[in-house]
Structures are given as C-alpha cells and as structure tokens.
Amino acid sequence: MNNKNLQQYIYSIADNALILGQRLGELCGHGPTLETDIALTNIALDLLGQTRSYYQYIAQELMKEDQTEDDLAFLRKEREYRNVQLVEQPNHDFAYIIVRQYFFDVFHHRFLSRLQRSKNVNLEAIASKSIKEAAYHERFSGDWLKRLGDGTAESHQRAQQAVDDLWVYTDELFHTTDDDQACIDAGHGVDVTSFKSEYFQVITDLLEEATLKVPETEFFQKGGKKGIHTEHMGYLLAEMQYMQRTYPDMKW
C-alpha cells in the first residue's frame, strides 16, 4: 500500500458522506414536519462533520500540496469524486429520501463498526467517533421506512417505487477497487464483501416488516467508485461548489 492508495481509499469513504450530506442539506426547511426537518438537517451535519475529519487527514498528513479540507470538497472535478452512485440520487419525494438513506445507513453502520479495528489510528479514531451517529441514522431511516411501507396506500406505493428504483444502486456499495484492496491487505481498510450477505438480509427483513417487496433484478449500476457518475452529480456539484469557484479563497 502506498500513499496514493490510502488517499483514494479515504476519498471513497468521505465522498459518500459529503454527497449524501449535500443532498440532505437541500431539504433544510422542506421536511414534512418540523421534527423530521430538524432530524434530517442534523444527519446532514453529522455526515459533513465526518467528511471534514477524513479530508483534514488527507490534506494535513497525506498530501504534499498546501491544501485544506475545503479545497478537497469544493475544487475537485466530477470524475475525481469516488462516492457510490446511490448517494447522488436526487430528492424526488420523501419516500426516495428515506429509502436512499436507509440503504446507505445499513451499510455505513456496519462499515464503521469494522473500521474501528483498522490499523490506521486516524481511521480508527474517526470511526469510533462516528459509530453512534451511524447507529442513530439507521434507526431513524428504518423506522420511517416501516411507517411509509405499512402506512397508507399512497405511502406504500411511493415507498415501493423508491425501493424498486434505488435497489439497482445497492450492489456498488460492495465493489472493491485496486486502491481498496491495497488498503485492505495492509490492514487499514475494511473488506466490505465480508458483510454483504448480512447487509441484504437486514434490508430484506425490514422490507418484509414494512410490507414491501424486494426487487427481482440481476442488473446493478456501478462506476461511482471509479469516478463515473450519473447525470445528477454534475448539477449537485455545480450548486455545492458555486460560491468557492466564483469567489476563490473568500473569507467570511
């Protein structure tokens, strides 16, 4: 494992949190209830806080260039982001928001629990600090998914549609790049394939409880971890990076 492998591996973790945090940030003031609105905003802040810790580690200890976490967030190009395509999917409606969140949260909680055993003291510390947040996120999205699926006919239909549409992005969570494998072999990373069956079993059990059906498909989208994103990513970055690119090095 070299320095470049580790940087790219951390990007693949941090970019998921950044992009999903940005998606949730778009909802501020638009939640169905005040309590839910505040909860989603707090989840966004949790994810952005985790992102900052990862980016600070890269900028301050792994890169030779004089860069900050803000540079890594706002000045990279679309193909340089390593997030999975799931987290960049737009906020079609509340059902999409919850299903997208739950599909990610189940993965993220289990990933962080294993990252706590990393030989890399920085990654271990970030994971240990973030694990309680991830556990809450999974409870929140899981409870809401059960309410939507086993609620009214309208909420059930919308939840099932979101599950059907977003299911094709779940398998990419378990793809392993060459950079990932190098970090796994060195004891710094997590072998995500080790909990793939657990992940799908947990989701299947909750969908059944929510009276929702698991989609029957053999086709899954991929490419985000290698910088190949959906059409939604460019629009998201345009909004997220606008201020920094228009007014470089602006200070508040």
For the chain, how many structural domains are there in total?
1
Q: Using 50, 70 and 90 to split pLDDT, how confident is the model at 9?
A: very high
Evaluate whether residue 206 is within a structural domain.
yes
Evaluate whether residue 215 is within a structural domain.
yes
pLDDT score, position 34 = 85
pLDDT for 202 beyond 70: yes
Evaluate whether residue 251 is within a structural domain.
no
pLDDT score, position 244 = 87
- CATH number of the domain to which 65 belongs: 1.20.1260.10
High-pLDDT (> 70) share of the chain, %? 99
DSSP state of 169: G
DSSP state of 229: -
> For all residues of the chain together, what is the average pLDDT?
95
Q: Is pLDDT larger for residue 65 or for residue 117?
A: 117
Evaluate whether residue 252 is within a structural domain.
no
What is the pTM (predicted TM-score) of this model?
0.95
pLDDT score, position 31 = 80
High-pLDDT (> 90) share of the chain, %? 87
Pseudo-torsion of CA 92, 99, 228, 111, nearest 10°? 150
What would the mean pLDDT of 43-49 be, rounded to a whole number?
97
Single-letter code of the amino acid located at 91? N
Q: Using 50, 70 and 90 to split pLDDT, how confident is the model at 28?
A: confident
Q: Is pLDDT larger for residue 1 or for residue 117?
A: 117
Q: Encoding tokens for residue 224? A: 């985000």
Question: Is residue 98 within 8 Å of 141, Cβ to Cβ?
Answer: yes
CA distance 19 to 6: 20
Distances (CA, A) of 32 to 91, 100, 196: 13, 17, 33
pLDDT digits (tens, 9 = 90+) for 103-154: 999 999 999 999 999 999 999 999 999 999 999 999 999 999 999 999 999 9
Which range marks the domain in which residue 188 is found? Answer: 3-246
